[in-house]
Every structure is written in structure tokens, then in C-alpha cells.
Amino acid sequence: MPNPIEAHQVVVECLPDVTVVKRIPKAARELCCCKLTAILEQVVSWNDVPSWNRLFSFATNCHRLPDKGSPNEPLASRLKTQLREEHPPSRPSKPRQSKIKKRRDPTETLARRVSRKIDAGDLRGAIHLASSNETLADYDDSIFSALQSKHPPPIQTLQSPPQSPHVQPLMSRPALSQGLSDPFQMAWPEVRPFFFGASLVALQKKCGGIRPIAVGCTLRRLVAKVAGFSVVDDMAALLAPHQLGYGVRGGCRGCSACC
């Protein structure tokens, strides 16, 4: 197993050059499921940096598209090989040089993005893109400073939520109580920025300014959904009628209709 810090650096450096498959071939799904299950079980049981590194690097190590010029081999076979070997992407031999890109026609760029959404079966996303008046902002120092000004600094001290009858069902789950001494605390500060952090995208408003969009970790969001589903009935009774966006079917739609 490679050093977790070095392996993470390799993944970060190779991310611009790595394309992850959008749909796993049927022949490789069973092996993929077994591999991901084993990694998740290792994270829960050991809760160490190498285990978390395997989890965060799973997509780039096991689901990347073959490089150009690779032997003509079925995609399922290539993915199976990656799943068995679990090798990180090769480090670029030369540092990437920034190229001056020609500014494309905004209409052409929008048409390509909408076409990709339709090809992926995301019709709602395609309609939203086509009807939106906002565009992606250029990434420069001014945009970066504006994004930083809209987000507070991270909290240095994390504390577990107070014990209550609504938290006990989560704490008593065997996978949590046996694997982690405190499911709401991670013992490794190296892991927290990746699990609880998010990638920021800046949208340029027509009226001026930017609209930050945060894309959080899929694993954290999935865990939050599962945990919230376990206490949805109790929490809905506590929060209603002050808010109707959690645990109330059609609550947001009903509020918008009343306004």
C-alpha cells in the first residue's frame, strides 16, 4: 500500500488527465460492488488514513477510462484489471503547461452542455441549463477572493452533538458502535477536509456578482441521507409547523403555492 500522502498527491496531480467512466459495464458490476464493499468495511473497522485514502481514490484507481493508444481491450476487462490491481494513475512525466484557450461562442458552449445532459438522461438538468441566465465565471484571483469572502473559515474544533433519544438509534447501530468509538468524530484530521469539504463553482449573475455552488462529497451526503431517514418521523414532528422542508411530503411545494 503506497504512502497515503504521496498517493493523494498523485491523484490530485492526475485528476485533470483522468476521465472516469460514466456507466459501469454489466460484466464488471459485481466485482466493483465487492471491491467497494470491502473498502467501506475496512474504513469502518480500521478508521485509519490508508483506508480513507483507498476510499477517496476508488474512482480514479478503479474506474478510469483507458489512455489513448492502449491495447484494444473490452472496457469491462480493463475495469476488472483496475479493480484487482487498484493502481493509482501514472504520474505525468512533464508538468502541465497552461494553454491559452480560445474563447468559444457562449451559444455553442451552452448547446454542448445541454447535449451532454440529454445524452446522460438528465432531461431536467438540460432544461435548467437551457433556461438559466447564469454562466460559469472565469477562474481568476478576483473570483477566488469573492468565493472566499462568501464562505466563513472552517471550524477548528468539532464536537459531537448532545445525546438525545433521536441520536441514540444512530449511535446504537452495530457498524458504528463497533467500528468507531465516536461516529460523529473522525480521528484523522487529514480526512476531514475531503469528507466534509466541497468543491466550489462560481456562476456569473446577469445583474453582477457571483453565485457560489458547493458540490459536497457524495459519500458524506449519502451517509447524511441514511442517518436523516432513520429519524425523519421524529424530527418532522419536532420541526413542524415552523418548517415544512424536512419530513413533510410536498411541504416545499405547498409553501410556494401559498405565497
Domain ranges of the chain: 1-92, 104-130, 134-151+169-216, 218-259
208 Cα distance to chain centroid: 29
Residue 8: per-residue pLDDT: 52
Residue 2: per-residue pLDDT: 45
Describe the chain by its helix, strand, coil percentages, rounded to 5. 50, 5, 40
- Strands 135-136, 198-204: pairing kind: antiparallel
Name residue 7's amino acid: A
Residue 103: per-residue pLDDT: 60
**Residue 19: φ, ψ to 5°:** -115, 125
Burial class (CB in 10 A: 0-12, 13-18, 19+), 206: exposed
- CA dist 234 and 80 (Å) reads 44
- CA dist 29 and 31 (Å) reads 6
Residue 177: per-residue pLDDT: 46
Residue 36: per-residue pLDDT: 93
Helical residues (DSSP H) of the chain, grouped into ranges = 4-14, 26-46, 49-56, 58-62, 75-85, 106-119, 123-131, 141-149, 168-171, 174-179, 192-196, 218-230, 232-239, 251-258
The radius of gyration of the chain from alpha carbons, rounded to an integer in Å, stands at 22
- CA dist 129 and 73 (Å) reads 36
**pTM listed for this prediction:** 0.65
- CA dist 81 and 121 (Å) reads 28
- CA dist 47 and 59 (Å) reads 19
Residue 118: per-residue pLDDT: 82
Residue 93: per-residue pLDDT: 56
Residue 179: per-residue pLDDT: 46
What SS3 state is found at 167?
A: coil
pLDDT, tens digit only, all 259 positions of the chain: 445 445 555 555 545 567 888 889 999 999 999 999 999 999 888 888 888 888 888 998 999 887 765 667 888 999 999 999 998 877 655 555 544 455 667 677 778 888 877 876 778 888 887 887 777 788 788 888 888 888 777 666 656 555 556 556 555 555 444 444 454 455 567 777 778 888 888 888 878 888 888 888 888 888 888 888 888 888 888 887 777 777 777 776 766 666 5
